[in-house]
Structure 1
Amino acid sequence: MKPHALQLYDYHVWANQRIFEYLKELPQDIYRKEIQSVFSSISEVLVHIYIADTIWLNVMSGISFDKAELRVQLREKTKGKSIEEMETMYFNLSEQFAEFFDRQGNLDQATFYEHPHFGRLETNFFELVQHVVNHGTYHRGNITAMLRQLGYPGVMTDYVVYLYAMNTKK
């Protein structure tokens, strides 16, 4: 059985993939359609999740939060990307996370980070993985609300749905 942190991250990847698969079934303009919501478009939500996930992978890998230019670089890297291109970027990022997990080994290992606004945090990698997953779950909920606002049902990405899906693969 996988360590819980890795299973949670697998859920995050699975849920993101379900969002991409569903969005590709909808009319193409839905991805970038401007609406009054938490984000201006569904594409902006996916860019936000991607940027946040990338920053957290960098932080866990020992790169400082103070790398403000990283956010600008990531914003530029994602600018104008199609849904298929973003899906590929998400896949590549999940591969980078997998490599990090393989190198790290013990995700319960104590570590600390210095955040420019919040100060020092003593934690472990598992808790940071939990944060990445929770952040993604929150924003996938934004996507569901935005889809409903645009007249489309959402796609189920609840953790229990993931557990059922994984159970049926056995």
Structure 2
Amino acid sequence: MTANSISATEPTQMRVADLQTLYDYTYWANNRLFAVINELTPDQFTQNVAGSYGSIRNTLVHVMSAEWGWLDRCGGPARGPKLNPDDFPTVESVTSTWRKVEGYLREFLATLKDEDLNRMVDFSFNPPQQHSLPVGNLLHHSVIHAVHHRGQVALLLRLLGYTPGNIDIMIFYEERRATDQRTRVI
């Protein structure tokens, strides 16, 4: 293995603080999208437009369900069965549940030490095939999975005639840096 290659069997170099920053970005980007999604009519929210899950609502529920599912597998609060989009008829029903999941995630991260990220988690999402990865890799996957589907939601918004704005992580970093600088001045 070369010095630049990554192995899922070696301890992760990620720190809890790194994951906290990535989830800060995730919820910042979610909030930016929800500001636009709140402008949709109820029909637009559930309308089958395109993509893997069809509607904005279905895509959001998929991401929220996956985020909670990975948290559950890593030792956080139990999600139960996969979330069903039909149980989330409104934007508010999605955002209120996601705020709860965000709270669970932040509480869970606050309990972790860096070495906990190397704890192996056995899981299956295509039984009977079994998998095993470290907690840090699974939580990192959850963030990247959300980035992928947020891009899909942004495209769906554009197809419906809305402008989702820039949700790139560099914008998040710039805003955070500006806030940190203002805080130091005060």
- TM-score with structure 1 length normalisation? 0.83
1:41–1:113: structure 2 CA closer, same or farther, 3 Å change rule?
A: same
1:121-160 to 2 correspondence within 5 Å?
Answer: 121=132, 123-160=133-170
CA shift at 1:27, angstroms? 4.3
Radius of gyration: which is bigger?
A: 2
Equivalent pairs: percent with the same residue? 24
Give the conservation status (yes or no) of the 8 Å contact 1:23–1:31. Answer: yes
1:14-33 to 2 correspondence within 5 Å?
Answer: 14-33=28-47
Which of 82, 87, 90 in structure 1 is aligned with 2:90?
A: 82
Unaligned 5+ segments in structure 2 are: 1-15, 181-186
- Matched with 1:167 is 177
Aligned equivalents of 2:177, 2:39: Cα separation in 1: 25
Aligned residue type for 1:138: H
Q: CA RMSD in A?
A: 2.4
Give the conservation status (yes or no) of the 8 Å contact 1:9–1:129. Answer: no
Aligned equivalents of 1:14, 1:60: Cα separation in 2: 23
Which of 46, 50, 57 in structure 1 is aligned with 2:60?
A: 46
- Matched with 2:50 is 36
- Matched with 2:121 is 112
Aligned residue type for 1:75: N
Unaligned 5+ segments in structure 1 are: none
Aligned equivalents of 1:124, 1:61: Cα separation in 2: 12
Give the conservation status (yes or no) of the 8 Å contact 2:28–2:172. Answer: yes
Give the conservation status (yes or no) of the 8 Å contact 1:9–1:133. Answer: yes
- TM-score with structure 2 length normalisation? 0.76
